[in-house]
A and B are shown apart, each in its own frame.
Chain A
Amino acid sequence: GEDVEQSLFLSVREGDSSVINCTYTDSSSTYLYWYKQEPGAGLQLLTYIFSNMDMKQDQRLTVLLNKKDKHLSLRIADTQTGDSAIYFCAEGGNTGGFKTIFGAGTRLFVKA
Chain B
Amino acid sequence: DAMVIQNPRYQVTQFGKPVTLSCSQTLNHNVMYWYQQKSSQAPKLLFHYYDKDFNNEADTPDNFQSRRPNTSFCFLDIRSPGLGDAAMYLCATSRGALDEQYFGPGTRLTVT
A residues neighboring B (CB under 8 Å): 4, 8, 30-31, 33, 35, 40-45, 48, 88, 92-93, 97-105
What residues on B are CB-neighbors of A103 within 8 Å? 42
State the Cβ distance, A105 to closest chain B Cβ, in Å: 7
Q: Is the Cβ of A104 less than 8 Å from the Cβ of B42? A: yes
Q: Which listed residue, A35, A45, A98, A102, touches B97 by the CB 8 Å rule?
A: A98
What residues on A are CB-neighbors of B102 within 8 Å? 45
Q: Is the Cβ of B50 less than 8 Å from the Cβ of A98? A: yes
Q: Is the Cβ of A88 less than 8 Å from the Cβ of B106? A: no
The proximity string for B residues 36-78 relative to A, scoring 1 for CB distances below 8 Å and 0 otherwise, is 0000111101001010000100000000000000000000000
What residues on A are CB-neighbors of B33 within 8 Å? 98
Per the bound structure, the CA–CA distance linking A103 and B105 in Å amounts to: 19
State the Cβ distance, A65 to closest chain B Cβ, in Å: 16
What residues on B are CB-neighbors of A44 within 8 Å? 103
Contact (A42, B106) CB under 8 Å given A31-B100, A48-B100:
yes
Per the bound structure, the CA–CA distance linking A99 and B60 in Å amounts to: 14
Contact of B81 with A by CB under 8 A = no
State the Cβ distance, B76 to closest chain A Cβ, in Å: 14
State the Cβ distance, B6 to closest chain A Cβ, in Å: 8
Contact of B31 with A by CB under 8 A = yes
**Quick one: which of A30, A45, A98 has the most chain B CB within 10 A?**
A98
What residues on A are CB-neighbors of B43 within 8 Å? 43, 88, 102
Q: Is the Cβ of A100 less than 8 Å from the Cβ of B108? A: no
Q: Is the Cβ of B40 less than 8 Å from the Cβ of A97? A: no
Contact (A104, B108) CB under 8 Å given A31-B100, A42-B103, A43-B90:
no
What residues on A are CB-neighbors of B103 within 8 Å? 35, 42-45
Closest-by-CB residue of A relative to B9 is A40
State the Cβ distance, A2 to closest chain B Cβ, in Å: 11
State the Cβ distance, A87 to closest chain B Cβ, in Å: 12
Contact of B110 with A by CB under 8 A = no
State the Cβ distance, B8 to closest chain A Cβ, in Å: 13
